Amino acid sequence: MMTAPIYNFSAGPAVLPESVLRTAQSEMFDYNGTGFSVMTMSHRSDVFASILYHAEQDLRQLMGIPDNYKVLFLQGGASAQFNQVVMNFAGGFRRVDSVVTGNWSKIAHSQMGKLSDCTIHLAADGGRDYAYTDLPPVESWDIGRDSAFVHFVINETVHGLQYGEVPKLGADMPPLVCDMSSEILSRRINVADFGVIYAGAQKNIGPSGATIVIIREDLLDRCSDRIPDVWNYRSHVQKQGMYNTPATYPIYIAGLVFRWLQSQGGVRQMETVNTLKAKTLYEAIDSSGGFYRNPVRPDARSKMNVIFSTGNADLDERFAQESTTRGLQLLRGYKSLGGMRASIYNAMPLQGVEALIDFMAEFQRRYG
Ligand SMILES: *Cc1c(COP(=O)(O)O)cnc(C)c1O
């Protein structure tokens, strides 16, 4: 029996490539002839060490991570990084610069100062200046040369904003610390432009539970011995990611996703497809004669999280419900924003976006 495909537009935990889930299924009880599931084997075993090693190597290949950057798979999600970066990199500094551009950077801003003597300086405020419908250009960020680092979120998952051109600071400026959770591996970036990149896995990489942290080596000199080892990046690096039990199963799935990305043509090919998906969807919104709206200035629109609404909360709710019956899942917008949100990460095929657009047109014919 043929069943219509189901497309999952969840913002996270989010869609994964079907082939990855099938591989995980086939290896569930017996990984590679070991007789064990990855879920039940020791993180100290040679088999898991190999899984971790290859996951890191494949990520390095995909992102072009230079040799002077360390890669960690930690736990605690992206939210833990809001504080961990301060704990590790702001010791001896009096100021951290924080760029607020939407929901996640606002939360980061509210948390970073806790347990720290640093002033968390609001270097730009996209809420005040643009009501989160545009992004403060990097030239407008108020940055102190003596800051420990500059924190920003490159893709705002809730407000549907993304820096189209990747912000860059001069060599004499503090390092950039970037929350890349909802766009990592979706387009080519130059890792060397950043001091630190971190990302929770559950948006564009794998299941929740693993957090990728990519750190320029020299910054590890800032990590004080007074930081408890479990929060100390240097301890994790020294123990090759095995200071304590890592999130073994999420790392295994992430490794499968990295191999899938390589088989698809890597980040370059993802970028091409993601650009086409986003362009197609925004064009459908913009050509609906005002029935569907997206409030974001075109240059700042996210290619990963596309928000839209009819301007009528009841109609939006009807859209969310009816779309579900057509196999278009989890389109309801973020709780405080309302409306709809289509998250179209790497694993969402163009056909999923086309199915959504077909439904949008039909819905408009009925209710427009
Ligand atoms: C989802 C998300 C977070 C929060 O991630 P957790 O893993 O739940 O802590 C932080 N930043 C961004 C940009 C996100 O999309």
What's the pLDDT band for 4 if we cut at 50, 70, 90?
A: confident
Tell me: the pLDDT tens digits for 53-95? 999 999 999 999 999 999 999 999 999 999 999 999 999 999 9
- Residue 126 Cα, ligand 1 centroid: separation in angstroms? 18
Quick check: is 218 catalytic? Answer: no
In this structure, are residues 364 and 322 in contact, taking their beta carbons and an 8 Å threshold? Answer: no
- Residue 161 Cα, ligand 1 centroid: separation in angstroms? 14
Residue 168 CB neighbours (<10 A):
11
Looking at 97, 179, 277, 303, which residue is catalytic?
179
Q: What is the pLDDT of residue 335?
A: 87
Mean pLDDT of the chain: 97
Tell me: the pLDDT tens digits for 261-280? 999 999 999 999 999 999 99
Tell me: the pLDDT tens digits for 103-112? 999 999 999 9
Instruction: State what percent of residues in the chain have pLDDT above 90.
Output: 97
Looking at 203, 277, 303, 316, which residue is catalytic?
203
What tokens appear for 178 in the block?
């970037």
Q: Is the pTM of this model over 0.95?
A: yes
Nearest of 160, 223, 114 to residue 11 by alpha carbon: 160
What tokens appear for 195 in the block?
């001091």
What's the pLDDT band for 3 if we cut at 50, 70, 90?
A: low
In this structure, are residues 249 and 207 in contact, taking their beta carbons and an 8 Å threshold? Answer: yes
